[in-house]
Amino acid sequence: MKTAIRLLSHLAKVTLCVSLISLFGPHSAQAQLLNFSKQDLLDYTRQDPFDRFPDGRPKVPNDLLEQARELSSEEVWAVLEQRGFHNQYADGFQILHPGKPMVGRAFTVQFMPLRPDIDEIAKNKAKEHGIPRLMNQTAIDMLQPGDVLVVDIFGKKVNGTIVGDNLFYYVMKATNSGGLVVDGSIRDLNGISEMDMPAYFRSVDPTPIGNVMLTGINVPVRIGGVTVMPGDLVVGDREGVYFVPPQLVKEVLDRADEIRIHDEWTKKKFDEGKYKSSEIYSTPSDPKLLQEYQEFLKKRLEEVRKQRSQK
Amino acid sequence: MKTAIRLLSHLAKVTLCVSLISLFGPHSAQAQLLNFSKQDLLDYTRQDPFDRFPDGRPKVPNDLLEQARELSSEEVWAVLEQRGFHNQYADGFQILHPGKPMVGRAFTVQFMPLRPDIDEIAKNKAKEHGIPRLMNQTAIDMLQPGDVLVVDIFGKKVNGTIVGDNLFYYVMKATNSGGLVVDGSIRDLNGISEMDMPAYFRSVDPTPIGNVMLTGINVPVRIGGVTVMPGDLVVGDREGVYFVPPQLVKEVLDRADEIRIHDEWTKKKFDEGKYKSSEIYSTPSDPKLLQEYQEFLKKRLEEVRKQRSQK
Amino acid sequence: MKTAIRLLSHLAKVTLCVSLISLFGPHSAQAQLLNFSKQDLLDYTRQDPFDRFPDGRPKVPNDLLEQARELSSEEVWAVLEQRGFHNQYADGFQILHPGKPMVGRAFTVQFMPLRPDIDEIAKNKAKEHGIPRLMNQTAIDMLQPGDVLVVDIFGKKVNGTIVGDNLFYYVMKATNSGGLVVDGSIRDLNGISEMDMPAYFRSVDPTPIGNVMLTGINVPVRIGGVTVMPGDLVVGDREGVYFVPPQLVKEVLDRADEIRIHDEWTKKKFDEGKYKSSEIYSTPSDPKLLQEYQEFLKKRLEEVRKQRSQK
Amino acid sequence: MKTAIRLLSHLAKVTLCVSLISLFGPHSAQAQLLNFSKQDLLDYTRQDPFDRFPDGRPKVPNDLLEQARELSSEEVWAVLEQRGFHNQYADGFQILHPGKPMVGRAFTVQFMPLRPDIDEIAKNKAKEHGIPRLMNQTAIDMLQPGDVLVVDIFGKKVNGTIVGDNLFYYVMKATNSGGLVVDGSIRDLNGISEMDMPAYFRSVDPTPIGNVMLTGINVPVRIGGVTVMPGDLVVGDREGVYFVPPQLVKEVLDRADEIRIHDEWTKKKFDEGKYKSSEIYSTPSDPKLLQEYQEFLKKRLEEVRKQRSQK
Amino acid sequence: MKTAIRLLSHLAKVTLCVSLISLFGPHSAQAQLLNFSKQDLLDYTRQDPFDRFPDGRPKVPNDLLEQARELSSEEVWAVLEQRGFHNQYADGFQILHPGKPMVGRAFTVQFMPLRPDIDEIAKNKAKEHGIPRLMNQTAIDMLQPGDVLVVDIFGKKVNGTIVGDNLFYYVMKATNSGGLVVDGSIRDLNGISEMDMPAYFRSVDPTPIGNVMLTGINVPVRIGGVTVMPGDLVVGDREGVYFVPPQLVKEVLDRADEIRIHDEWTKKKFDEGKYKSSEIYSTPSDPKLLQEYQEFLKKRLEEVRKQRSQK
Amino acid sequence: MKTAIRLLSHLAKVTLCVSLISLFGPHSAQAQLLNFSKQDLLDYTRQDPFDRFPDGRPKVPNDLLEQARELSSEEVWAVLEQRGFHNQYADGFQILHPGKPMVGRAFTVQFMPLRPDIDEIAKNKAKEHGIPRLMNQTAIDMLQPGDVLVVDIFGKKVNGTIVGDNLFYYVMKATNSGGLVVDGSIRDLNGISEMDMPAYFRSVDPTPIGNVMLTGINVPVRIGGVTVMPGDLVVGDREGVYFVPPQLVKEVLDRADEIRIHDEWTKKKFDEGKYKSSEIYSTPSDPKLLQEYQEFLKKRLEEVRKQRSQK
């Protein structure tokens, strides 16, 4: 008996006080506090050059995800800045595994501070749409392989813990180790630190999630100074996280090839010990060196791309 | 000529880089990035006991607004806490006129960081709905007497200035000195400080608004730890700002009457110099004193309410 | 009926969850979590040259309190630094009335975070010593004219509000507008700002005090980087607060006379417009000027002291 | 000669300016600025179900300490929250060895800012009680195997360094690698980082401890938002530190067993890949699964406890 | 005797530990740690269209200073931004008299952290150049009417107090109430707050200046994110401080006239109550209104300038 | 073609907007905004007991650099504090390889916020002195083996990135893994973290350096609270960075030997388990133990120095 009681009080630890406003398949958009229908998503991401998920989310292809694992923030910066996207980078996170890159498609979730009046109405609306329990798990259960869970819970630390080790484990399984970005906190860091999925979070706290309401799934959310859209390519490295609009993914990856070959050549030249840095970098001052570089670039680009196509 | 050129460059100062996503009458909800239709508003504020604006916003009556001018944060706290509303208070603002109370109905506006791809699509959508220019003024031009403009621009300082002195003046005229709460900044503080409207802001900056997109008008917004709904009663004092759901306004005002009479009696007793504080406050320990208090309360309540009804 | 219920819930607002550990007249020291008996106080303040309160607290005389009203932080600094007291100054406060000096004798109170196990035992102990209710008011009811209430509530904002406007009013009456220093918060700032007692606090919050236990009255407490002893002279100006050990009060006041006369002479000389600052300040370089100054100092000191003795 | 002089000036580095107020065995409580006698300790920890040290400190048994090495903050949270202990967790520390758990009995020490007048009197009092030198080492020399040294030095960085590598080494030897929690700093991080004892500290500084006075040993102290009692079970993980009252230790450990088995089962189920997270976690929705879980829990609990008893 | 001793110890309060590196007339540039000769100044400010001081500093004329008293930060922003000067504004100051504008010519001073080895050599160098005492007053004694003292003391609070009330008074007299900007602190705020000169400072502290060395007078200095040149026009309002290169002063003032007339017209139109803000501001959408505005501008500009020329 | 265009836009990433004021061999000092000639350097470092570089920079010998690799901050503190150097330590950095000591000779660089007027003049001055491009690489190309690059870029994060992985690699090659201290940021942390050179930085950002001007090479600079001189011995450990004037290097190293032997003996004694810490540390209380220590010190010092001389 006592065991059962204890169990229940334990089990209550997560469901304690999370309230969720509304949810959220393409057919249930009308249950959300902030609506963002499948048609909205199609409209606002109409530049997406790739396939889409059934719910309309852009689906950056798997091979590009794989290729993106080698990206660093600076390589992404070059293209986005040039294309006028000045607000796609967020930092200031604690990083679970700093040496492990994070790459995936943004699956977004938004929470707002709990209001009992809104909450009650939302619960009823959800029930009318066939969603019996509304909680963080409702969103988590919709995750797909290759997704990165992107959560705006407005930087909350106490009761802002989107997952503990159990749900982190589930997210890892469901996304195939895609990743987690939360403008908020996590709990059970001891358990989580032994799991092999990248995660970016603001803080850690022993409390469960609570005193919030889930207000949107796969809606536009804000993480730091970035407006994140569902389906954005998420790239995390040791510094922070870039959210790349799908229509720019190919250009970012191509440019990254050139940057990496450029760096390869530059270091090779530095190793020769004959040049000052400014004779080589960022662009060789001597026309002959420049030509040498351009030939190197051309040859290596061909190699790299041939190699990639053979995979 | 030179003057004209100068003028144009000057005039450009505000329109420079504000982009707006979509807008926003009840009939144009489909032009918003984050939709919140008139029906949504009616649904989520169905406990509202008062009239409404044509767009569905709850309209706390003018006489209650007047009565609310005497409220302080603590008086609001008592009822909201008891009714389970723990997240309705925001502070940490710079206050323009600390001695001047702010009271009004929440008119909410939300901005998010600019994304050129989203922005372009939103502009086209807006044009289809007959909105030629999308900017902060689109929202400001919809303000009504008694409104408080409540702006979520995510704490932005540089280019997060919702108004300068010209638009502040317009807001003051349009709202009949209702007020402004911005989780962001203002500009032209020198000019603004001479105008007689309450304002709560995070910071001041000389730059105009920019690098953002307007994503919602009269949608639920977050200010600090509060989910603000359009039509909430906004009450600002020297400490911070309370957002009171319409259905609780009457109870808050009634309780405030009692609290003020209680304080009146308490001070009167303290002035007699015969009692220790704990003999009087918060509740008299002596049954005779308690009775005296209760009679005082009853009598003064009648007076206060009679006096109020005669206005 | 409804009124009565409301009243009770209102009255509960302060007593809600403050727990107090133990209390605290000279005869009840054994009821404190942290004991500091009358004998301890006598021992540790044995350099006090003045009278004492019945509980052993040093009592800086009223005329010196009066004289201290003109002190500024810098004038206190000069003597304390020289005497090896490097840790007597605290700043970083919000100041209620920046232009109004605060002077009085330290009456100290300490709170610690609530622990239910300690709290329950302390309550029982207190009852055994005849203290029926343990709360902030137990301390406040012991205040004397000329006291400054000095509260260590470890910087707590939410539920760290030592007083609201009712108790602030009582403190003002009881101390004869002595003052308040709290390393924590206050509530009801609107009401308090109309009362004419100096106050230094870290923040303001609408919540009542709670989730703490009162662990000491007139024990040594820490305010910022200062160890404050009961009976210290408290001096607050526009910058911060100095806590002066009683044995240094006279020297501080004498030195302040000289500093003020020195400043008077310096400004007079500057007004003549004939000198560079370094010829006059801080000490005149010309021996004749130095002599002039010394004669001025002597004459003015006599005047000042004569004037003071005639009051 | 020169060597000798150098040595002396070196040796002076720690003793430089620490002053200690009073000390501190059960028989010398009267030498403390803040008294907390053996009887006080017995009174306030009377719920302790275990043995005690000769000075009255509760002594959580060694086998429970061992068992507690597997605890994480979240597992402690579950019981403490339910029992009404909301203030037992502190975080924001730098953690010396994040992967190494810290478990032990709290040995508390308190410092306050130096006041020469108090210091001189305390020194004399100490000498009268046979304590020739008063310094951090006086406390450190009283440590027992299994202790965690818990130091309140009010967050001080410069001259707030409770130990360097020499005394850290001594603490490690004396406590049998128990651990250190300091609301202040340490020095010699290079040397300390090679030693195998857990430590939680706010900052690191090259200066020695100074400009403080030791005001209590094994008195109630405050670490962040926690009132720590001598003899509390201290549990540190990758997130922060929990201070568990002795009377709750057994329940915490029992509950942790259940939580860990629950997590084990949950992950096993997730691994099967057949369930959404909400079907399994936190409690299985299908009655058959629930039964399966309860049987699993019962069986594993028996195994775990049998295994433990055989150690 | 005792008085004299006291006096001396008092007088020591400012000279205590300020060391100065080198100084500083045009002829003594070689005595500075960081040299910036008269020729350097002439070279780097060669765009200055105005007269100069004998030491080469640009001298914005008095009538333009007078005219600049009406400038606000936003008016300065318009021209500087357009001319590519993005780094001329600093904020985050405490402002002594928020309602009082500050206008003057930058007189710059730089301090660096004290190094005894550098200090000793600098002292000797200074003596060789006939400068007997090196201290903050050496710079202060060079101030001219219309100057604003601009001090880079690297944000230092304790011992970073450039002036107390005596020297503040002297600066006020010498600059004819020009003003003070210090990236550091001041002392004697009580006394200073009664003096009628604008001042912008980071903090206030009771300690005198010390543990620093004066490393440059009228050299380029950094205040926040601004490189300030000697002779820049300094404009301070309720928000912060702009440093305007002399060559842009005239354009800033002319543009400000237009902006103010524009605002005048805009408010006039708003007062008519017939227009939405976007119909008027920032530029009238109706061509007829635009023409009306342009005529208003032309007429008012003529009036304003005529009026100004008649002064 | 497209490739070439892409390359160019990529190559532009670093040179984008860095402007440099002036540069900087001993013969080009007149091209610097802030001059510090070879003669200045010789004058201000005249206590240097070692050789110098051709440009006058003190050159702490290689064998002492090697010996200094074992220093920790605390060992440096002992001598510098005693010699009156209270401002030689900076901390608060992110440390690239916390376990790897940094030792080298300071090569200093200073940046200030960009001003187009100053920048243009400086560019022309530089060209007159034969320096075609002015940028961070101009300084970097002057680095020597054993140097630590010390950069004051005033804490700037965005566009405050002194190096990315290419230039970091070059610095590593040129200084023979000397090291980097920047009061600013770096970029390409992913690439840099794989390189084996110590680095201390405030932050990381994906942007290239920009919106600054290079104002000095091998001039006195400020890093945190330290005035750093060219040629100072830079010592970095897990805590922070010490800048040791050359004339104190030998004494620091000698004292460190004694401190390390002292610690060795102390730990040996602690290991015996017979002593309380205060009987041994910091100085043995028993005269016989003291003698034992002194003999140990003498013998070990001889061994250590013999061993060192044989290398």
One digit per residue, the tens of pLDDT, for chain C of length 311 reads 333 333 333 333 333 334 434 333 433 444 457 778 999 999 999 999 999 999 999 999 999 999 999 998 889 999 999 999 999 999 999 999 999 999 999 999 999 999 999 999 988 888 888 877 678 999 999 999 999 999 999 999 999 999 999 999 999 999 999 999 999 999 999 999 999 999 999 999 999 999 999 999 999 999 999 999 999 999 999 999 999 999 999 999 999 999 999 999 999 999 999 999 999 999 998 999 999 999 999 999 999 999 988 87
* Digit-coded pLDDT (tens) for A153-172: 999 999 999 999 999 999 99
- CA–CA distance, C127 with C116 (Å, rounded to integer): 17
CB E226 within 8 A of CB E88: yes
Q: Which residues, 6+ apart, have CB-to-CB distance to E122 below 8 Å? A: E19, E20, E21, E22, E31, E33, E134, E213, F44
With beta carbons under 8 A apart, name residues in chain E contacting C263. Answer: 165-166, 191
CB A283 within 8 A of CB A266: no
Indicate the residue type of F192.
Answer: I
> What is the SS3 assignment for E87?
coil
Tokens of D21: 């107020």
- CA–CA distance, B280 with F108 (Å, rounded to integer): 69
Report the sign of the C-alpha dihedral through residues D193, D196, D197, D199, in that order: positive
* pLDDT attached to residue C298: 97
**CA nearest to B161 within chain E:** E74
Query: Of C77, C294, C298, which has the smallest distance from its Cβ to E206's Cβ?
Result: C77
Tokens of D177: 């690698």
The answer to whether the CB atoms of B227 and A213 lie below 8 A apart is yes
Q: How far is CA C11 from CA B78, B281, C5, C15, D270, in A?
A: 10, 8, 10, 8, 51
Say if C62 is an interface residue toward chain B (CB within 8 Å).
no
pLDDT at residue E260 is higher than 60? yes
Indicate the residue type of A100.
Answer: K
Report which of residues D124 and B27 the model is more confident about.
D124
- DSSP one-letter string for chain B: -HHHHHHHHHHHHHHSEEEE----SGGGGGGSSSB--HHHHHHHTTT--SEE-TTS-EE--HHHHHHHTT--HHHHHHHHHHTT----EEE--EESSTTS-EEEEEEEEEEEE--HHHHHHHHHHHHHTT----SHHHHHTT--TTEEEEEE-TT--TT-B---HHHHHHHHHHHTS--EEEEEEES-HHHHTTS-S-EEEEEE-SSPSEEEEEEEESS-EEETTEEE-TTPEEEE-SSEEEEE-GGGHHHHHHHHHHHHHHHHHHHHHHHHT-S-HHHHSSS-SSHHHHHHHHHHHHHHHHHHHHHHHH-
Indicate the residue type of F185.
Answer: S
- Torsion, Cα B254 B258 B264 B268, to 10 degrees, reads 160
pLDDT at residue E23 is higher than 50? no
Mutate to test the interface with F, among D3, D7, D207 (most CBs of F within 10 A): D7
Tell me the β-bridge partners of C106: C148
Predicted confidence band at A110 (pLDDT cuts at 50, 70, 90)?
very high
Q: Note whether B touches D: 3 CB pairs or more under 8 A.
A: no
With beta carbons under 8 A apart, name residues in chain E contacting F92. Answer: none
Q: Give residue E130's region: left, alpha or beta (phi > 0; psi -120 to 50).
A: left
pLDDT at residue A135 is higher than 90? no
ipTM here: 0.91
* Digit-coded pLDDT (tens) for B193-214: 999 999 999 999 999 999 999 9
**CA nearest to B8 within chain E:** E283
CB atoms within 10 A of CB B180: 28
Query: Of C239, C277, C283, which has the smallest distance from its Cβ to E189's Cβ?
Result: C239
CB C238 within 8 A of CB C98: yes
CB B214 within 8 A of CB A89: no
> What is the SS3 assignment for F56?
coil
Query: Of D7, D12, D204, which has the smallest distance from its Cβ to F239's Cβ?
Result: D204
Pairing of strands B147-152, B102-113: parallel
Say if D106 is an interface residue toward chain C (CB within 8 Å).
no
* Digit-coded pLDDT (tens) for E173-205: 999 999 999 999 999 999 999 999 999 999 999
With beta carbons under 8 A apart, name residues in chain C contacting B237. Answer: 189-190
* Digit-coded pLDDT (tens) for D141-193: 999 999 999 999 999 999 999 999 999 999 999 999 999 999 999 999 999 99
* End-to-end Cα separation, chain C, in angstroms: 59
- Torsion, Cα F71 F72 F74 F78, to 10 degrees, reads 10
Q: What is the pTM of this model?
A: 0.93
- CA–CA distance, E199 with E189 (Å, rounded to integer): 11
Query: Of A72, A98, A278, which has the smallest distance from its Cβ to F188's Cβ?
Result: A72
**CA nearest to D218 within chain C:** C34
Q: Which residue from C236, C270, C292 is spatially nearest to C70, judged by alpha carbons? A: C236
Predicted confidence band at D1 (pLDDT cuts at 50, 70, 90)?
very low
* Average pLDDT over every residue of D92-115: 97
* pLDDT attached to residue B13: 36
* pLDDT attached to residue B32: 60
* pLDDT attached to residue C131: 78
* Digit-coded pLDDT (tens) for B83-130: 999 999 999 999 999 999 999 999 999 999 999 999 999 888 888 888
Distance to chain B for E236, nearest Cα, Å:
11
Tokens of F256: 């460190």
Predicted confidence band at E32 (pLDDT cuts at 50, 70, 90)?
low
Percentage of chain A modeled with pLDDT above 70 = 89
* Three-state secondary structure string covering chain D: CHHHHHHHHHHHHHHCEEEECCCCCHHHHHHCCCECCHHHHHHHCCCCCCEECCCCCEECCHHHHHHHCCCCHHHHHHHHHHCCCCCCEEECCEECCCCCCEEEEEEEEEEEECCHHHHHHHHHHHHHCCCCCCCHHHHHCCCCCCEEEEEECCCCCCCCECCCHHHHHHHHHHHCCCCEEEEEEECCHHHHCCCCCCEEEEEECCCCCEEEEEEEECCCEEECCEEECCCCEEEECCCEEEEECHHHHHHHHHHHHHHHHHHHHHHHHHHHCCCCHHHHCCCCCCHHHHHHHHHHHHHHHHHHHHHHHHC
**CA nearest to C205 within chain B:** B239
- CA–CA distance, E86 with E77 (Å, rounded to integer): 9
The answer to whether the CB atoms of F137 and A294 lie below 8 A apart is no
Low-confidence ranges of chain F (pLDDT < 70): 1-32, 133
Say how many residues make up chain E: 311
List chains touching E (3+ CB pairs under 8 A).
Answer: B, C, F
Tokens of C99: 């232009």
Q: Note whether A touches D: 3 CB pairs or more under 8 A.
A: yes
**Which residues 204-243 of A have a C-beta within 8 angstroms of B?**
211, 213, 215, 219-220, 222, 225-227, 229
- CA–CA distance, A200 with E75 (Å, rounded to integer): 42
pLDDT at residue A183 is higher than 70? yes
The answer to whether the CB atoms of E166 and C281 lie below 8 A apart is yes
With beta carbons under 8 A apart, name residues in chain A contacting D78. Answer: 9-10, 13
How does the average pLDDT of chain B come out, rounded?
89
The answer to whether the CB atoms of A137 and D277 lie below 8 A apart is yes
* pLDDT attached to residue C33: 75
* Average pLDDT over every residue of A82-110: 97
- CA–CA distance, C134 with C122 (Å, rounded to integer): 9
The answer to whether the CB atoms of B282 and C166 lie below 8 A apart is yes
Query: What is residue C236's DSSP assignment?
Result: E
* Average pLDDT over every residue of B55-74: 95
Phi, psi of E61 (to 5 degrees): -65, 155
* Digit-coded pLDDT (tens) for A224-249: 999 999 999 999 999 999 999 999 99
Distance to chain A for F7, nearest Cα, Å:
7
Q: Which residues, 6+ apart, have CB-to-CB distance to E250 below 8 Å? A: E49, E64
With beta carbons under 8 A apart, name residues in chain D contacting F240. Answer: 204, 206
Query: Of E240, E242, E278, which has the smallest distance from its Cβ to B138's Cβ?
Result: E278
- CA–CA distance, D109 with D167 (Å, rounded to integer): 15
- CA–CA distance, F283 with F262 (Å, rounded to integer): 9
CB E66 within 8 A of CB E176: no
The answer to whether the CB atoms of C34 and D220 lie below 8 A apart is yes
Displacement of CA C201 from its chain's centroid (Å): 11
With beta carbons under 8 A apart, name residues in chain E contacting B169. Answer: 266-267, 270
- CA–CA distance, D191 with D194 (Å, rounded to integer): 6
The answer to whether the CB atoms of D207 and F77 lie below 8 A apart is yes
Query: Of A82, A258, A278, which has the smallest distance from its Cβ to F133's Cβ?
Result: A278
Distance to chain E for B165, nearest Cα, Å:
8
Phi, psi of A62 (to 5 degrees): -60, -40
Q: How many CA atoms lie within 13 A of A74 on its CB side?
A: 30
With beta carbons under 8 A apart, name residues in chain D contacting C116. Answer: 83-85
Q: How far is CA F191 from CA A99, A244, A254, D208, F164, in A?
A: 11, 21, 19, 38, 8
Distance to chain A for B290, nearest Cα, Å:
35
* pLDDT attached to residue E157: 98
- CA–CA distance, E113 with C275 (Å, rounded to integer): 30
Q: Give residue A193's region: left, alpha or beta (phi > 0; psi -120 to 50).
A: alpha
* pLDDT attached to residue F6: 35
> What is the SS3 assignment for C244?
strand
With beta carbons under 8 A apart, name residues in chain E contacting B7. Answer: 258, 262, 283, 294, 297
* Cis amide bond preceding F277, omega within 30: no
* Digit-coded pLDDT (tens) for D202-249: 999 999 999 999 999 999 999 999 999 999 999 999 999 999 999 999
* pLDDT attached to residue C32: 59
* Digit-coded pLDDT (tens) for D48-77: 999 999 999 999 999 999 999 999 888 999
